[in-house]
A and B are shown apart, each in its own frame.
Chain A
Amino acid sequence: MPSVTLLGQSIVSGLLAGGLYGLLALGLSLSWGLLRLVNLGHFALAFLGAYLTYQLGTAFHWPAWASALVIVPAFFALGVGLHAVFAYFRVTEFTSLLVTFGITVILESLIQWFWTADFRRFETPYASTSSRIGPLFVPTLELLAALTATALALATWAWLRLTYVGKALRASAEDPEIAAAFGVNHRAQAFLLSGVSAAYAGVAGVFIALISTLAPAQIWSWLGVVFAVVIIGGLANPVGALLAGLLIGVSESVTMAVVTPAWAPLVSFSLLILILVARPGRA
């Protein structure tokens, strides 16, 4: 039986890992739920953001927050540009999978061409710092990532629920024709949402650079678990994505502490199946 401290520490660790899952899932959930685009390129964008943070930090000694100030708006513009391409070629929900898979492969190759396949680590003085709460340790950067994920999830939820643009986006996703009849300009709002999703990938990227050591192939290592988070959380549901991230993070972490780390990857998909089966209103 694990000690209470070990169990507590694994829950803390899981919550923080879940925060990062939630942060990565946020943009994906929005574009899938509201634009009907399954954007696999989201992961590649996040890693591009991570590598840019690394580059600006190591070559020009920029602090991560300064990099974020450049990367996030730049990624917003990139997201808008990408959506222009999707709109021009009338990319559908199904074809978006193929197109964005291709974009991911291209971005991975570009990253490898520029930064090589070797590991890259953005060393910062706060990389390994933690706060202590009783017997438990809370790593600073992971905490910051989880808090950012929470703030963005709540802000996005409020944006979608309380603003005209948010309501219009949801209406268009529900029934584009009726929404258009009410004067909703879905095309313009889709550009905005695509930009926001890409900007969120940029935010996630900054944290990935601070927390992890980078290698191009790691783009794919997040894919399965983040997809599970998006589906469990519900499409276009930012708070749901965050909560699902926390749930999977804690479940994986407790499995590692109580059973064995080798079982952790089974958890996210077992949870996904269980929740899909038990979810009320399923067909």
Chain B
Amino acid sequence: MADSPGLMRRLTAVVAALALVGVALPAGAAPSGPPIRIGSTLALTGPLAPTALIHKIAGEIYVEQLNRGNGLLGRPVEWVLFDDQSKPDLTRSLYEKLITVDKVDLIMGPYATSGILAAMGVAQRYQKMIIHHSFGMPHLATYEMHFPVAPFGPEPQKTVPGMVFDGLATTKTPPKTVTIVTSKFPSAQYQSNGAREVAEKRGLKVLLYLEYEFGTRDWGSIAARVKDANADFLWVGALGLDGNQLLEALKKLDYSPPRHFHLFPAPGPMITAPEARLALSNTFFEEHPPFTNDPATARLVALFKEGATKAGLPYTAVDTQAAGSFAAWQVLEAAIAATKSLDDKVLAQWLRKNRVDTVEGKLRFDGPNNYGDDLSKMRQVQDGKWLVVWPREFAAPGARINLP
């Protein structure tokens, strides 16, 4: 009995420690059993690699979080990821391998329109459901078991430019003339071509429409033509660095476009470039309220920052790309949790009938070609940050379209 007070103290300490551990760990048992294998490719090398790297980090974070919790259906999750080298032909072969050789349970989409289209063909042949996060040409996605989480809506060639011109129309000096310069990368060209039609329908005069090859190096002459046209508004169907390179070339000609919009820019280089001040762009998510009001989303943002810093990325904020990946995994998780199934057809059927809460907002897949609403927003570089400025209900606190 002499030991009783000491024993009690030790027991109390153990109970307290267990309680603390219980707070730190997510509720429920750790996942067990054979892993659920989810296969995909990403462009880890090649011209699309800078952006695909963002998707890799986001996907790894999400899978890690799943495994720290209960996994999926109580089983751990294994992400089988291959490098498609930014090549659609290789993407096709790798998805074939994932399904027939690696025999993964489920597949996720690769990065970017051309790769997704290649993977979708394979998914269709083997009747696998495919959720993807970066497809920009909805009219080509006719497979009934594809689920897009890049919420462009069924007609982004109309709705994205429409949203941009709506936003510009609210400014003190709406543009009257437009120059459109676009990459021939399929989704960029498709939406930029749509921008020309939308602009003309709204009575804006398109002074110049130019297409350039993906991977163009010399921007001097394109810049000279943009300067020569001197339109009120410059729409760049940019992919990655295109917008930066064009703005830099324009600066060397001592010209700064009064208003400029970039479709799919690399987010980091654009906020750091002095000539890209007040650049406008398309987005589905930026890391500020109202997007980060949900604590779970705020936590993903913090985890991404940590992961991106660890991976040596110069730009560590979550924007439309990382958010797209998070949303894709959220959609998959929601469908599996709701149906308690790994059957592609069962999951697809559920997704077509239900809305899913994601970091990008509520997604639905019951429209044409499984597309729901266009959730595009317009963001702008302001004080070294991307801030959503349009539509107003999604604008960062106090932010509005700022144009000279």
Contacts and interface: CB of A to CB of B under 8 A. Distances in A.
A63 interface: no
Interface in B296-326: 311-315
Interface stretch (A5-13, A44-52, A185-193): A5-13
Interface stretch (B222-230, B337-345, B392-400): B222-230
A171 interface: no
Interface stretch (A85-93, A196-204, A248-256, A274-282): A248-256
Contact of B253 (A17, A108, A137, A213): A137
B3 interface: no
Given A137-B253, A216-B49, A264-B213, A253 B266 contact: no
A183 interface: no
A257 B249 CA distance: 14
A261 B210 CA distance: 7
Interface in B226-259: 228, 240-241, 244-245, 248, 251-254
Interface SS, A side: helix
Nearest to B47: A217
Given A116-B53, A130-B254, A216-B45, A257 B313 contact: no
Given A128-B248, A262-B184, A118 B220 contact: no
Contacts of B252: 128-130, 137, 139
Given A256-B225, A261-B210, A262-B213, A13 B220 contact: yes
B165 interface: no
A120 interface: yes
B347 interface: no
Contact of B248 (A116, A127, A137, A218): A127
B349 interface: no
Interface stretch (B139-147, B267-275, B277-285): B267-275
Contact of A118 (B50, B86, B210): B50
A121 interface: yes
Contact of B45 (A5, A108, A128, A132): A108
Query: Which size class do B's interface residues fall under?
Result: 35 or more
Contacts of A163: none
A129 B274 CA distance: 13
B222 A120 contact: no
B314 A120 contact: yes
B218 interface: yes
Interface string A1-39: 011011001101110110000000000000000000000
B224 A17 contact: no
Contacts of B212: 256, 261-262, 264
A62 interface: no
Contacts of A95: none
Nearest to B313: A118
B286 to A, nearest CB: 19
Contact of B49 (A17, A117, A120, A121): A117
B215 interface: yes
A274 to B, nearest CB: 21
Contacts of B96: none
A270 interface: no
A260 interface: yes
Given A6-B224, A117-B50, A121-B272, A260 B218 contact: no
A75 to B, nearest CB: 22
Given A215-B50, A262-B213, A128 B251 contact: yes
Contacts of A119: 50, 240-241, 266, 268-269, 314
Nearest to A58: B314
A69 B46 CA distance: 31
Contacts of B201: none
The 7 A-B pairs at the shortest CB distance, nearest first, are namely A13-B220, A117-B49, A256-B221, A261-B212, A9-B224, A10-B221, A139-B252
18 contacts: A6-B224, A6-B225, A14-B218, A17-B220, A109-B45, A115-B312, A116-B311, A117-B53, A118-B53, A119-B241, A137-B252, A217-B86, A253-B218, A256-B221, A257-B225, A261-B213, A261-B221, A261-B222
Given A9-B220, A119-B241, A257-B221, 15 more contacts: A9-B221, A13-B221, A13-B223, A13-B224, A108-B45, A116-B312, A121-B272, A128-B275, A130-B252, A213-B269, A215-B49, A216-B45, A222-B217, A262-B212, A265-B213
Interface of B: 44-47, 49-50, 52-53, 86, 184, 210-213, 215-218, 220-225, 228, 240-241, 244-245, 248, 251-254, 266, 268-269, 272-275, 311-315
